[in-house]
Chains A and B, each alone.
Chain A
Amino acid sequence: MPKTQNRVVGIKWVSKAGLKKALDSRARRVLGVSGVDFERRYSKGALGSRSLDGKTGTVELAALCFFAKDQSASKKRK
């Protein structure tokens, strides 16, 4: 595709830890809880589909959980 001559915003690709920081920032801003707390409640199913959209912005937090998910837990159990 043709690229323009204008300066275009960059992307800072982050690790899971970097995404967790963004999740934490948003959870505090939207719900007033930490990202860890939100992830815990979400993974326990404490936030059902209906209540997920009960507060604006909660669904977007859930979407971020996928990208911030810690997959090292299963390794630790070995």
Chain B
Amino acid sequence: MPAKNANEADNDFAYFFRESLSVVTNSYLTGRREGNKRVLLYEPPVKLERKGGDPLYMGVTQTYLISKANAGFKATTTSYSYELLVKKDRNLETLVEFHWHPELTANLKWPHVHIKGNTAEGELGRKHFPTARLAVEDFLRFLIRDFDVKPQLPYATWKEILTRNKREFAVNASWLYWKPLI
């Protein structure tokens, strides 16, 4: 259901985003409003606790637009970047980055992932592996499941938050898969 006004659309969108991030961090997001455009980000990347091993770091950038919708207002994502990093020799090194930035790259409009890995084919970090559209909740689950990032909330609570917010995302998203792909 569309929000009654622009502020409500903005606040609702930001609330889902903030609530989901609260599963793994307490850090404040940085935000900036410019007309009807918004950006929310973690820069520098924030530290994440793990169940074991060295800490990891998370960088997030989400831009969105507040616009009129059917009998109300809606917030629409215009780009995202979800980044996982590790500290090596005091420097942050990116492990994986999920991106979607159609307005800035005319020849690259589909969502994709960059994976850092040196292979016989060379460095893969500059390749754009196509993905479905990612919600921040997908990224957070990925961090918890595959990188042992420690949730800040009890299991039942964080699972309910990510499931509920992902469901809300899927219901309201104007698209989930890029058509045509590439």
Interface residues of A (CB under 8 A from B): 1, 3-4, 6-14, 16, 18-19, 22, 25-26, 29, 49-50, 52-57, 59-60, 62-64, 66-68
Contacts and interface: CB of A to CB of B under 8 A. Distances in A.
B86 interface: no
Contacts of A57: 81, 83, 94, 97
A5 to B, nearest CB: 9
20 contacts: A3-B15, A6-B19, A6-B153, A6-B161, A9-B18, A9-B26, A9-B27, A11-B31, A13-B32, A22-B41, A26-B43, A29-B92, A49-B107, A53-B108, A55-B126, A56-B94, A57-B97, A59-B105, A60-B79, A64-B61
Interface of B: 12, 14-15, 18-19, 21-22, 25-34, 37, 39-41, 43-44, 61, 63, 79, 81, 83, 92, 94, 97, 99, 101, 104-108, 114, 125-126, 128, 153, 157, 161
Given A59-B105, A64-B61, 11 more contacts: A8-B19, A9-B29, A10-B28, A12-B28, A12-B30, A53-B108, A55-B126, A57-B97, A59-B101, A60-B81, A60-B101
- Of B34, B92, B153, the most chain A CB neighbours within 10 A belong to B34
Contacts of B19: 4, 6, 8
